Chains A and B, each alone.
Chain A
Amino acid sequence: MNHFAPVALDVARIRQDFPILTQTVRGKPLVFLDSAASAQKPRAVIDAMVTAMETQYANVHRGLHWMSERTTEAYEATRDDVARLLNAADRAEIVFVRNSTEAINLVAYSYGRGVLKPGQAVLISAMEHHSNIVPWQMLRDERGIELRVAPITDAGELDMAAFELLLADGKVGLVAITHMSNVLGTYTPAARIVQIAHAHGAKVLLDGSQAVVHRRVDVQALGCDFYAFTGHKLYGPTGIGVLWARRELLEAMPPFMGGGDMISSVSYERSTWAAVPHKFEAGTPAILEGIGLGAAIHYVEAIGYDAIAAHEQALTEHAILRLSAIDGLTILGHAQDRGGVVSFTLANAHAHDVATLLDRSGIAVRAGHHCAEPLMHRFGIESTARASFAIYTTPAEIDFLADALVRVREFFA
């Protein structure tokens, strides 16, 4: 027996954990291929949130009563879950935010305005989501911090030579780059990026919104300085996300927002800040969502990243095989190291028309620019349709998509 073979993932059993997958859409079984936008929720997550509301709900951190203590324990346990998930050295390095967008904005605001200096630069790549472009543009326009963009190849991979060249003058203070593209499916070589960036004196923020869903992330092994992800793509609820950052960085950064929970003491003359991570968590947090995220992490860990990665790799290979056999269909990007996101264009059919026709067959895909307009322009297009895969996706669903796409092409021929 090959002991390297991961434990196979039992999709049929997993599908039973997701109540929504028994729904029909327009009289047809739901084929949900839009998990990269937001994933469906397992019963364990739904139950954790409902149980918390029904049995122990109160505000966290300040209560001196039983309900508040229980809720605080459950909410703070998620911080330990996240620290374990990312292999963080210290639970105080886990900052709860609303989503990846807020995590990146927090870094742009606190690190960008508090630590970076005018004349320094931030380096992103040509395959970023708008949420990893716009905060840096705002920083550039407000603080005179240059924004540089590392090009990608036609295959959809980071151009490493150009990347290194952009760091050569030593002005780049921060590299902010996706760990996995939401459009191309490309995994960036994160550990190598970190190595090169650090050699040139730059810190590295990885946008892990997609990557953390599909692969085990070890921030200490990667060596990065900031890591952002969001709960709702990881089978958890909306409204809860994570910024992980090295403790010394968090301690050097000024607060993001002011308010309750983030202070040590307040007077009209001056206030002092709470210790990290609470310094960055002003106001009542997303308590139930935090508890739900903890349940999602337990759920994913019980399946195991080896099994998840193997399952999604097989699905992606199957999808590329089936879709690329369709006349007139072009897959955007073909990186060597890629995950379960496949964007494509279909001759004579606009992505929106493709999505509407697929929807009539019960198939949910995304269509548009996927919040990555500059990336679309890089490939000379305005929009694509995108199918994305999850732990509950089956090869039969991909066959169903491919068969439907053949009919879509005929419809617009």
Chain B
Amino acid sequence: MSFDVCDLYQEVILEHGRYPRHAGRPPRHDATARGDNPMCGDRVEIFLSYAPDGRIADARFDARGCAISIASADLMVDAVAGLAPDDARRIFSRFEDMARTGACPDGDAMMEPLRPLAGVHAYPSRVKCATLPWHTLMAALEGGGQATSE
């Protein structure tokens, strides 16, 4: 392939972008939020259901967006399912750092599956594509509402 983009469009990203595993609106949910990227009109909705102990039991998303935002949403759900909300918030903060700097801490088991998205830092106009699902998740954890990529 003649495009020099393998740092961004890694196979795992293309795969999750094409065939997301956690896409779709669930029949019921405990919390939801919608995120919009006003620059491009992309949007994502997150639906959470909680376990009795307060952990995230399941998450689904419904999105219209690019390969990066869909893959990021899908990998995010893998990363936060089963976690307590505070742990999900901690991963978000590490993910934001990674998207901005490109550095993914070695030996961080929680971050390892998200490492393929580190390449987005080299594409400033695309960082928001990767972080929009996370901002939306945070809004859902806060009790719902709206998030934007701004």
Q: Is B2 in contact with chain A by the CB < 8 A criterion?
A: yes
Count of chain A to chain B residue pairs whose CB atoms are closer than 8 Å in the complex:
58
Complex partner residue of A382 from B3, B5, B64, B123, CB under 8 angstroms:
B64
Q: Indicate if the CB atoms of B67 and A350 lie closer than 8 Å.
A: yes
Measured as residues with beta carbon below 8 angstroms from the partner, the interface class of chain A is 20 to 34
Q: How far is the CA of A53 from the CA of B5 in the complex (A)?
A: 43
User: Does B150 sit within 8 A of A, measured CB to CB?
Assistant: no
Nearest chain B CB to A399's CB is how many angstroms away?
15
With an 8 A cutoff between CB atoms, is B50 at the interface? no
A129 shortest CB reach to chain B, Å: 14
Q: Is B41 an interface residue (CB 8 A)?
A: yes
Which of A356, A376, A408, A410 is within 8 Å of B8, CB to CB? A356
Which residue on A lies nearest to B8, using beta carbons?
A: A356
Query: A-facing mask of B4-21, CB < 8 A → 1, else 0?
Result: 110011000010001000
Distance of B5 from chain A, by nearest CB (Å): 5
**Chain B, interface size: which category?**
20 to 34
**Cβ–Cβ < 8 Å partners of A360 in chain B:** 3-5
Partner among B1, B4, B41 whose Cβ is within 8 Å of the Cβ of A383: B41
The reply on B109 being an interface residue by CB < 8 A is: no
A348 to B42: give the CA distance in the assembly, Å.
Answer: 16
Q: What distance in Å separates the Cβ of A233 from its nearest Cβ neighbour in chain B?
A: 20
Q: Take A352-B66, A369-B40 as given contacts and tell me if A407 and B5 are in contact as well, using a CB distance cutoff of 8 Å.
A: no
A407 to B42, CA, bound (A): 24
In the complex with contacts A350-B67, A352-B126, A411-B40 CB distance below 8 A: no
- The distance in angstroms between the C-alpha atoms of A348 and B3, with both chains bound, is 17
Min CB–CB distance A34 → chain B (angstroms): 13
- Whether B40 contacts A356 by the Cβ 8 Å rule is no
Which of A26, A368, A407, A410 meets B40, CB within 8 Å? A368
Set of chain A residues within 8 Å of B65, measured between Cβ atoms: 350, 352
Contact of B5 among A350, A356, A368 (CB under 8 A): A356
12 contacts between A and B (CB under 8 A): A352-B42, A352-B68, A352-B126, A356-B123, A360-B3, A376-B41, A382-B42, A383-B41, A407-B3, A410-B1, A411-B3, A412-B18
